[in-house]
């Protein structure tokens, strides 16, 4: 498993080391916009059947790499694997998104939650990581990931997707100490889970804080950032002599980049609502930046896509420390050919921003 990386642009950029061009990958690059994914999912029977089968998860992870010259692979899994392993009964209803049979809403239910063993209840994830790492043969690095404690808690307390977050915010304002117990337990679980992914072969880590942006600044610091910071401090940051870069991404979190940069992470994901040049000024060299094209640009013409890529590259400017990505996941109705235009444009147009 110690084969040298043939393409280490992503690792170098996330650590702010020089590269020959800007690396690129896409959030949700393995997924529903690809016809080969839809075909495999139909054969597997369900989304969870794909996730819990290491060989199928490996195949889905590799599918976009066969189509596009991407600079990283990301584990095909779900952010809700930990709550499912805690016994909440994750299930998916077509058109409705994820839901739990057993949401938790009081101190007794939260106290009863176990911290899952990644080599037992979540072994299908670590097995998938080792299988993917083996099949990649050092072609590109493999990114492991988890949802953030706050984001996982929103699903666990609400029982599924929500528009107003009334249950979890109600708990936050009425019994904050109870929510802190849940978040602390989730942070401990995520540290164990992500370190197990590194042990199994993940070469970089990412924490997705999908719902941090729904909080006011004070509550974001207390109920989201505090626990992501705890996770960053608990992660294995080196394996086999190689640094393991850690990226934090809060959707809607552009106004807190300075606070996020102070956690000790290596890279921050930025969504499309933040100007990349302003983000670079705010973080002032403390961390690399990942992002941040609006996924909807992929509905535009080839020339419009190339134009947007050039605009974002120019916004970041010269030098290292930029991982090009979408500002959130690629939409399932995007033409796969447009994703190819995007990836190729980044490679072609970014060369001039790097010292040859």
233 in a known ligand binding site: no
Task: State the chain's maximal CA–CA distance in angstroms.
Answer: 60
Q: Given the residues 32, 67, 237, 304, select the one marked as catalytic.
A: 32
Q: Given the residues 41, 67, 226, 304, select the one marked as catalytic.
A: 41
78 in a known ligand binding site: yes
- Length in residues, the chain: 356
30 in a known ligand binding site: yes
Instruction: Say which residue the tokens 């599918």 belong to.
Output: 63
Report how far residue 276's alpha carbon sits from residue 280's, in angstroms, rounded to the nearest whole number: 6
210 in a known ligand binding site: yes
What single DSSP character describes residue 262? T
Is residue 66 annotated as part of the catalytic site, yes or no?
no
Beta-strand ranges (E) seen in 237-326 are 238-239, 242-243, 246-250, 267-269, 288-293, 322-326
The answer to whether the beta carbons of residues 300 and 332 sit under 8 Å apart is: no
Measured in whole angstroms, the distance separating CA 75 from the mean position of its chain's CA atoms is 9
Report how far residue 267's alpha carbon sits from residue 261's, in angstroms, rounded to the nearest whole number: 8
28 in a known ligand binding site: yes
Is residue 32 annotated as part of the catalytic site, yes or no?
yes
29 in a known ligand binding site: yes
Q: Given the residues 8, 71, 78, 209, select the one marked as catalytic.
A: 78
328 in a known ligand binding site: yes
Whether cis (ω within 30° of 0) applies to the bond prior to 292 is yes
Is residue 41 annotated as part of the catalytic site, yes or no?
yes
Report how far residue 13's alpha carbon sits from residue 19's, in angstroms, rounded to the nearest whole number: 7
Report how far residue 42's alpha carbon sits from residue 39's, in angstroms, rounded to the nearest whole number: 5
Q: Given the residues 37, 155, 220, 227, select the one marked as catalytic.
A: 155
Sheet arrangement for strand 322-326: 73-74, 142-147, 204-209, 246-250, 267-269, 288-293, 322-326
Q: Which residues are catalytic?
A: 28, 32, 41, 78, 155
| Residues in binding site | 28-32, 78, 155, 210, 328
| Residues in binding site for substrate | 28-32, 78, 155, 210, 328
């Amino acid at each position: 498993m110690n084969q040298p990386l043939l393409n280490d642009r992503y690792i170098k950029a996330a650590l702010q080391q020089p590269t020959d061009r800007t690396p690129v990958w896409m959030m949700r690059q393995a997924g529903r916009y690809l016809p080969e994914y839809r075909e495999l999912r139909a054969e597997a029977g369900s989304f969870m059947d794909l996730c819990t089968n290491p060989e199928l998860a490996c195949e889905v992870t590799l599918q976009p790499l066969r189509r596009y010259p991407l600079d990283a692979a990301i584990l095909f899994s779900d952010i809700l694997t930990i709550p499912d392993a805690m016994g909440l009964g994750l299930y998916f209803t077509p058109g409705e998104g994820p839901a739990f049979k057993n949401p938790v809403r009081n101190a007794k239910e939260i106290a009863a939650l176990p911290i899952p063993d990644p080599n037992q209840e979540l072994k299908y994830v670590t097995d998938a990581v080792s299988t993917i790492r083996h099949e990649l043969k050092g072609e590109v690095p493999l990114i492991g990931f988890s949802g953030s404690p706050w984001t996982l808690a929103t699903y666990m307390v609400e029982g599924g997707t929500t528009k107003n977050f009334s249950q979890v915010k109600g708990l936050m304002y009425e019994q904050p100490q109870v929510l802190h117990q849940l978040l602390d337990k989730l942070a401990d679980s995520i540290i164990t889970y992500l370190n197990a992914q590194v042990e199994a072969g993940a070469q970089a880590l990412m924490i997705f804080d999908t719902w941090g942006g729904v909080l006011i600044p004070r509550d974001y610091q207390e109920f989201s950032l505090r626990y992501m910071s705890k996770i960053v401090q608990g992660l294995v940051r080196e394996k086999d002599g190689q640094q393991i870069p850690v990226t934090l991404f809060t959707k809607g979190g552009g106004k807190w980049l300075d606070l996020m940069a102070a956690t000790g992470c290596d890279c921050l994901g930025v969504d499309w609502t933040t100007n990349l040049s302003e983000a670079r000024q705010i973080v002032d060299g403390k961390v690399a930046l990942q992002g941040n094209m609006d996924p909807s640009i992929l509905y535009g013409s080839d020339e419009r896509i190339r134009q947007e890529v050039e605009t974002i590259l120019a916004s970041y400017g010269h030098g290292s420390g930029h991982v090009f990505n979408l500002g959130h996941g690629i939409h399932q109705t995007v033409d796969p050919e447009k994703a190819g235009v995007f990836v190729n444009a980044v490679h072609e147009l970014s060369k001039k921003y790097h010292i040859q």
